[in-house]
Amino acid sequence: MAFTNPLHKRFFAFIAGILLTTPVLAQQRPVDPIIRQLHDPTSKQVLVVAHRGDWRNHPENSIRAIESAIAMGVDVVEIDLKKTKDGVLILMHDATIDRTTSGHGKPADYTWAELQGLTLKNEHGGPTRQRIPTFEECMKTAKNRVMVNIDKGYDYYKDAYDILVKTGTVDHAIIKSGKTYEQVKAENGDLLGGKLAYMPIVKLDQPSAGAVIQAYETNLKPVAYELNFGADSALVNSNYQTIPKTGSKIWLNSLWASQDGGHDDERSVEENNPEDGWGWLIAHGATMIQTDRPFELIHYLRKRGLHR
């Protein structure tokens, strides 16, 4: 059918344009700019990591804590893994379920079905009607929306990877450990260097810290390094300055003083001195900050033009 009327031609071109661009728009995911920033060594923007989700308002490592952190605009949600008696990966930080649930004992003492009979506690230890989530539920919640940092999950590296593949979220995750490159290579070398980003945790107060960083720089070039230090001198006198030159991010924690020389959330929020808290960390190279105060950190960064 021929369109001879100029108005018809313009209308057809308009409709065709919508049809052609709609699939492209549909492919855009909120997580995509986060992933791009993580892998962009030139970006000076700071990625915000919510420690155990928004645990100040919801039970830690819960779906609600993850949802709330996403609503705040965080880039990464940090979670912890344990395994049940029947091999199900769940979100749980402690070696036992006593502190965070209505039950007692180790996660491995229970089947997944048995754990569903328990409920999570809030930050004050009070009861809720929320349940322990699986890692698969976590990743389905995060999918297309936010990245996830897998802490205390290295022992389940391959199992976690299988869940990521199943849920189509391999590019959403960062897994980490405090092991040397040689150890990680020997134990999980077949999964290194692929889509699942790996991050070493380095304690700069230890004499071996420099050698640990150098081995990773030489052999792997991780997506980021989590650096912990009890005193400023441990950071400043280390060889951490070489990390950005190899294209990796610097992840610093503002959770408590033993991890950041006192440049922590308490200094930034309770003491109302964010320049000597978060600002100090940024001035010393942080392009990822893990915090227990994600809402306040995002507000601070946006005032400085350092967060999307």
In a domain, 153, yes or no: yes
Q: Is the dihedral of CA 220, 225, 229, 233 positive or negative?
A: positive
pLDDT digits (tens, 9 = 90+) for 16-30: 454 444 444 457 899
What is the 3-class SS of 78-111, one letter each residue?
A: EEEEEECCCCCEEECCCCCCCCCECCCCCHHHCC
In a domain, 10, yes or no: no
The number of distinct structural domains making up the chain is 1
In a domain, 172, yes or no: yes
* Contact status, residue 81 vs residue 162, Cβ threshold 8 Å: no
- On the question of pLDDT at 73 being above 90, the answer is yes
pLDDT for 28: 83
Query: Which residues, in sequence order, are CB contacts of 191 under 8 Å at separation 6+?
Result: 157, 158, 161
- The domain that holds 56 is classified in CATH as 3.20.20.190
Mean pLDDT of 92-116: 98
- On the question of pLDDT at 261 being above 80, the answer is yes
* Residue 261 half-sphere exposure toward CB, CA atoms < 13 A: 18
Q: For residue 8, what pLDDT band results from cuts at 50, 70 and 90?
A: low
Q: For residue 283, what pLDDT band results from cuts at 50, 70 and 90?
A: very high
Is 0.95 surpassed by the pTM of this model? no
In a domain, 198, yes or no: yes
In a domain, 176, yes or no: yes
Tell me the percentage of the chain whose pLDDT exceeds 90.
Answer: 90
- On the question of pLDDT at 263 being above 70, the answer is yes
112: left (phi over 0), alpha (psi -120 to 50) or beta: alpha
Mean pLDDT of 277-283: 98
In a domain, 5, yes or no: no
The amino acid at 43: S
- On the question of pLDDT at 12 being above 60, the answer is no
- On the question of pLDDT at 6 being above 80, the answer is no
Mean of the per-residue pLDDT values of the chain: 93
In a domain, 17, yes or no: no
pLDDT for 25: 46
Domain, as residue range, for 70:
33-85+135-303
Mean pLDDT of 124-136: 97
Q: For residue 304, what pLDDT band results from cuts at 50, 70 and 90?
A: very high
pLDDT digits (tens, 9 = 90+) for 82-91: 999 999 999 9
Structure tokens at 30: 């909120």
In a domain, 266, yes or no: yes
Instruction: Phi first, then psi: give them for residue 186, nearest 5 degrees.
Output: -70, -35
Beta partners for residue 51, in sequence order:
78
